[in-house]
Every structure is written in structure tokens, then in C-alpha cells.
Amino acid sequence: MNVKLRSAILSALVLMTIIAILCPTTGIAYDEVTIDKLWRTHKNKTMVMSHRGDHQRAPENTLAAFDKAIEAGAHFVEVDVRLTRDKKWVVYHDRTIRLRNGAKMLVSQCTFAELKQCTISGLRYRMSDQAIPTLHEVLEHLRGRVIIYLDDKMGRPLELAEIVREYEMEDQVFIGINDYADAILISEFAPDIHWRARVKPIKNDIDKYLAL
């Protein structure tokens, strides 16, 4: 082996060793997504929220839809959450669902077992049917990968705050507030939790929220 080739090989090996040390590929990601990091790196820049995940390429509010949103470069994913009759938090947008037996039911009147038999699908997605995920499954799946906006369809922000704390994801989750009374509750009893409110475009209404 000539001297030049040997030198080139040694240089390449040294470079690969340096990269391996500086950029480990095992364990938790070294650059997890957090709200504070996103605010610092994207100040005065446009940020993208994926509504119910990328529901153009996968069934909405499914793990596949959230994965595809992240692949497409979304900074946030919006996740709709509802409570079943047996008090399980599931990720689903509509108030009603058609069960496998053809009955149309309120999600809040269904048991978790009944919902797990349902799937969300569509020919245009070109993928197998997707199960309705639980909130716990979604939080575990998205941990450290993207900012999560939980749209609270049940008006129970403090229950959601407890789940966020359970997963130690206070720096990765916003809870969406749809009622001023809920905003007061979360401000007073869960000040460590990020939240955002949907408000009517009326000055007095906006001022009430800003005062919290």
C-alpha cells in the first residue's frame, strides 16, 4: 500500500472516530424538542402546526398521521382528546363514532374496549387500518420529537395536566383551553403547564385571558 493511500485511510478513520464521539446514536436523542428550544430557535419565524397530524397522508389523529407530520417538518401536532365512559383518554376528534355493529354512539358513552375494535381508514391513504390511540400511547410515541397541542374536548384541563406531569412532558405540551373558567383553573392550580386559549376576536374577551 503506497504512502498516500495509507494516509488517506488513516485520516478517514480519525474523522469517523471524531464523528462517533460527538454524535452518539444510542440512547435518548441528544437534541430533544422542547417549547423553550423552539421559541429560541424560531423567534419571529413562521412555525407550522399539523392539524390532527398529516391527515392528507394518513388517517387523522393516529400514530401514523403524527409520524408523517414530523417527517414533513411540522413543529407542532394538534391532538384531539376525549374521555370514554370508563374514564380512558383517547385521541379522537368527533363527538360520535360508528361502532362495528353499525350503531352510532357518543364517544363519551363508549367503553375503551368498544373503541379499540374500531379503526380509522380510507382508500386514499394506501395503508392498513389504524387503531384509535390512547393519549398515553401518543405521549409515549411523540416524547422528545415534536411539540404537542392537546385540544381538550372535555373541559378537564387539570386531569390532562396530571397526565402531562406523569410523563414529565411539561416542556413539550400545550393544553388547549376552550373556556375562560378552564383558563382560570389551569392558571391557578397548574401554573407549571403551558396552555393556549381559543378566544373570540373581541377586545374585552382577549383582555380577560391576557390578565391571567
User: Would you name the residues annotated as active-site residues?
Assistant: 51, 93
Cell triple for 201: 376576536
160 Cβ contact partners less than 8 Å away, ≥ 6 residues apart: 81, 89, 135, 150, 152, 175
- How far apart CA 161 and CA 95 sit, in angstroms, is 22
Question: Pairing mode, if any, of strands 147-152 and 173-177?
Answer: parallel
Residue 178 φ/ψ region, left for φ over 0, alpha for ψ in the -120 to 50 degree band, beta for the rest? alpha
55: Cα separation from own chain's centroid: 14
* 152: β partners: 81
- Cβ pair 111, 85 in contact under 8 A: yes
Compute the distance between CA of residue 22 and CA of residue 28 in angstroms, rounded to an integer. Answer: 14
> Partners of 106 in the beta sheet?
96
Q: Can you tell me the distance from the alpha carbon of 40 to that of 75, in angstroms, rounded to the nearest whole number?
A: 13
